Structures are given as C-alpha cells and as structure tokens.
C-alpha cells in the first residue's frame, strides 16, 4: 500500500495487510497518547498528525517497510545519534521488519515533537 483512499485512520488500518496491522495500530496508539493538541487526519493517503494545520508526524504501511514520517527538522537533528543506526531518509524512518520497530524510540520522537514547535521539512 503506498497511498490509501480511506476516509479515516480506522478505514486505513482496515486496508493494511494483517501482518502489519498490529504494528501500525500501536504506532497510532502512541501518536494519540503523546500528541495532545494534534489533529489526526488522512493526508497524502496516510494517517497524519497536524498541529495548527501543519503536518508534523505521519505513518504508512509501504510495500517493503513501515514508514514513520518525522517532519520536524529540529527533532530529527536532536535525535541524530539515535537515528544513525536506522534506515532514515530526509524525514522518513523506515522499519523493514515489523519486529524491528523501536516503539520506545517512536514514543520519544513523539514526545519531543509535542514538547516544542519547530520547522518542518
């Protein structure tokens, strides 16, 4: 799944392959727990978390991996050392195996995002 036409995140999660659904639901639960004041929306065909209309976090089930989009450059820069051992693009942290998802790292990235405001990439 690259881009979903689901109307909401529940619909999105119902579409993803069953072997990835639990991991994506856990990422969603972390987002909902840690991103107080953010709106959960579907944008660009994936679950997205916006503050004041600006997307700061998103996630998606891709064909080869699960993507976690960390769109805040300041948070990404402050976690550069922790992210160095991961498959990380400009704003996309890729988990190629479901059992390799570092949920503690995801939670810390969400907390750092919620704690401050900064530039998005």
The pLDDT value recorded for residue 4 is: 82
* Distance, CA of 99 to CA of 56 (rounded, Å): 25
The pLDDT value recorded for residue 2 is: 57
Buried b (16+ CB within 10 A) or exposed e, 37-55: ebeeebeeebbbbbbeeeb
| Per-residue tokens: 26 | 């856990």
Return per-residue pLDDT of the chain as tens, 121 residues.
457 888 899 999 999 999 999 999 999 999 999 999 999 999 999 999 999 999 999 999 988 899 999 999 999 999 999 999 899 888 899 999 999 899 999 999 999 999 999 888 8
The pLDDT value recorded for residue 111 is: 98
The residues, any chain, with a CB within 8 Å of residue 76's CB and separated by 6 or more, are 70, 83, 88, 91, 121
The pLDDT value recorded for residue 3 is: 74
Q: Locate the domains of the chain by residue range.
A: 9-115
Q: Which of 106, 14, 116, 117 minimizes the C-alpha distance to 58?
A: 106
The pLDDT value recorded for residue 119 is: 81
Q: Which CATH class is domain 9-115?
A: alpha beta
């Amino acid at each position: 799944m690259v881009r979903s036409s689901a109307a909401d995140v529940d619909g999105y999660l119902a579409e993803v392959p069953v072997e990835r659904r639990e991991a994506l639901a856990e990422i969603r639960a972390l987002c909902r727990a840690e991103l107080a004041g953010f709106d959960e929306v579907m944008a660009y065909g994936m679950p997205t978390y916006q503050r004041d209309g600006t997307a700061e976090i998103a996630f998606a089930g891709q064909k080869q991996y699960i993507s976690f989009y960390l769109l805040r450059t300041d948070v990404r820069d402050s976690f550069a050392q922790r992210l160095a051992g991961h498959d990380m693009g400009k704003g996309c942290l890729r988990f190629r195996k479901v059992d390799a998802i570092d949920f503690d790292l995801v939670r810390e990235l969400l907390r750092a995002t919620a704690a401050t405001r900064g530039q998005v990439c």
